[in-house]
Structure 1
Amino acid sequence: MVTYFEGPVLWAQLDANMHMRHSAYADFAAQARLNMLDKLGMKAEELVALKLGPILFREELIYHREVGPNDYLKVTCVMTKSRKDGSRWSIRHEIYRKDGVKAATINVDGAWIDVAKRKLGTLPEHLYQQFKQLPVSEDYVEE
Structure 2
Amino acid sequence: MNDATNAVTVKIRWADVDAYGHLRHSAYADWATFARSEWFESAGLDPQVFAQEGVAPITLEETTSFLKEVRLGDILTLSMLAAAETADGSRFVHTVAFQRKSLPVARYRMTGAWFNLRERKIVPPTAAIAACVTGLLRSDNFATLG
Match in the other structure for 1:93: 96
Q: Identity rate of aligned residues, in percent?
A: 26
Select the residue among 110, 116, 120 that pairs with 1:114. Answer: 116
- Alignment partner, residue 8 of structure 1: 11
Distance 1:126 1:13 in 2: 35
Task: Please state if 1:55 is matched with 2:68.
Answer: no
User: What secondary structure is seen at the aligned counterpart in 2 of 1:16?
Assistant: coil
Aligned to 1:103: 105
Matches within 5 A, 1:56-71: 56-71=59-74
Match of 1:81 among 80, 84, 91: 84
Q: 1:125-136 counterparts in 2 under 5 A?
A: 125-136=127-138
Does 2-11 or 30-39 show the bigger shift? 2-11
How many residue pairs end up in the alignment? 141
Q: In the alignment, residue 135 of structure 2 is paired with which amino acid? A: Q
- What letter is aligned with 2:143? V
1:41 CA drift (Å): 1.1
Does 2:37 match 1:37?
no
Instruction: In structure 2, give the amino acid aligned to 1:86.
Output: G
Greater CA drift, 87-96 or 45-54: 45-54
Structure 2: gaps (5+ residues) = none
Contact 1:53 1:112 (8 Å CA) reproduced = yes
Following superposition, the deviation at residue 39 of structure 1 comes to 0.8
Between the aligned partners of 1:40 and 1:90, the Cα distance in structure 2 is: 17
TM-score (norm 2): 0.90
Q: Output one character per residue of 1:7-29: Cα deviation in whole Å (capped at 9) or x when no partner.
A: 11010110011000001000111
Whether contact under 8 Å (2:6, 2:137) holds in the other structure is no
**What is the RMSD computed on CA atoms of the aligned residues?**
1.3
- Which segments of 5 or more consecutive residues in structure 1 lack a partner in the other structure? none
Contact 1:86 1:131 (C-alpha < 8 Å) held by counterparts: no
